[in-house]
Structure formats: structure tokens, C-alpha cells
Amino acid sequence: MNKQAALAFRCMDLTSLGNQDTPEDIEALCAKARYDANHVAAICVFPEHVTTAKRALREHQLTDVAVATVTNFPQGGTDVERAVEETQRAIAAGADEIDVVLPYHALLAGDKVICERLVRQVKDACGNDILLKVIIESGELQTSAQIRLASQLSIANGADFIKTSTGKVPVNATLEAAEDMLSVIAQDNPSCGFKAAGGIRTLADACAYFDLAERLLGADYLSPNCFRLGASSLLKDLIESR
């Protein structure tokens, strides 16, 4: 694994969000979380698999790997109370990170207030110890202005990261959307993280996002504390990189 591949591996949220996932699938996923001296940043699974992932990572002596899960997923509904309750249950089960879907349909309809409320209240449920990533579903937003607005609202209301996509829509991460999002981070809060998710399959794909982030936010931004890749199919290409 070359230097760039090792960086991509360390920044990866190794993900399995299949409706048919079994505990055995999650255990197998966790077994892939280390390669040589490197480990991924997080394992991302559905809430019902959080306890399995925590246990499997302990068994592999990978307690430095976070367990992330998703709430208000994938539809991005407007029921704030439900999103908060899902988040609280996930944290109680042991989740270290929450990837919540912004109510992007509401945003497209002109309702910014519900987006602000949901992010703020979910962040309140997370507190200071649980990392909150807000999925803006950039591929469903219709313009650069909407992507920038979703990013601004998320950051202003407590997002620790902003994330492109659920991976459940036709258009997921794109470099164009990433540039809008990273530009907002650079302007509004350079300590906010960024996660590109969906459709990142090769080291070349990952490096294109690295190059963009470095141009806008500097080389120090390229670490798991600030930059994540939500991927599963990327893993094979990284391991084969020399």
C-alpha cells in the first residue's frame, strides 16, 4: 500500500448499509478494518448493528476505530423528535459517531427552519463527545446555491462534519459538490470536517478529493479528524496499490 493509499485507508469510514446485512456480515467488515500498521477511521453500519461492530472491533483490538451509524436515514424526513430519538438510541447502543440526513426535501421546498431545528437538536443529543456528520444529499439538491446553503445551515447549527450523500440516490459524491461544500467550510468554519460518500471506488477517485481539499484548506486538513471517505468498494483498490 503506497503513501496515498495508506492515507485514504486511514480516512475511510468502512461502510455496510445493506438492508440484508447480518451480524456475520458486520463481523467480517470489522475484520477488514486494519491493514499492516494502518486502520480505518470508522466502521459505519445501521443502528441495529452497532453493538456487533463494537464487540467485533474489541475482539480485533481495534478500539481506536470509531463506530458510526445513520439516523433520519435515508429519506431525510422532517420529524425532529424521531431523528433525536433514533440518535439517542444509537448512542445508548455505543455509537461514537452519528451521520444524520438533513431534511433536504424540506430545504428544496424553502423550509430552512426545520433543517436548522433538526441539526441543532440532534447535535444537542450528541453533546461534545459524539461526532455529528450531517448528510446534505448533495446529488438531490438542484443547484450550487442549494448545496452551499445546506452546508451553511449544517455548520451553523453544530455539524462537526458535512457529508455529501447517503449512497442511496442516483447521484452521490461529485467533485463539483465537494468544492461547494469545502468552500463553505473554508469560509465559515475551517475546523469543520468533510466526508465524501458514494461512488468513490478507486485510489484515483480518492486522490481527486484529497487534491481539492488540500487546495482549499491546506495539507493539514488531510487527516481522519477532518477528512473522511465513506466507501466499501474502495478497499480492494487501496490494498492492491503499490
The residues annotated as belonging to the active site are 99, 163, 195
Question: Is the Cβ–Cβ distance between 228 and 10 less than 8 Å?
Answer: no
Matching residue, cell 480505518: 40
Interatomic CA distance for residues 172 and 170, integer angstroms: 7
What is the Cα–Cα distance from 200 to 233, expressed in whole angstroms? 8
In a 3-state reduction of DSSP, which class is residue 94? coil
Prior bond of 190 cis (ω within 30°): no
Residue carrying C-alpha cell 469560509: 187
Q: Please state, in angstroms and as integers, the Cα–Cα distance from residue 106 to each residue in 76, 78, 81, following that order.
A: 9, 7, 16
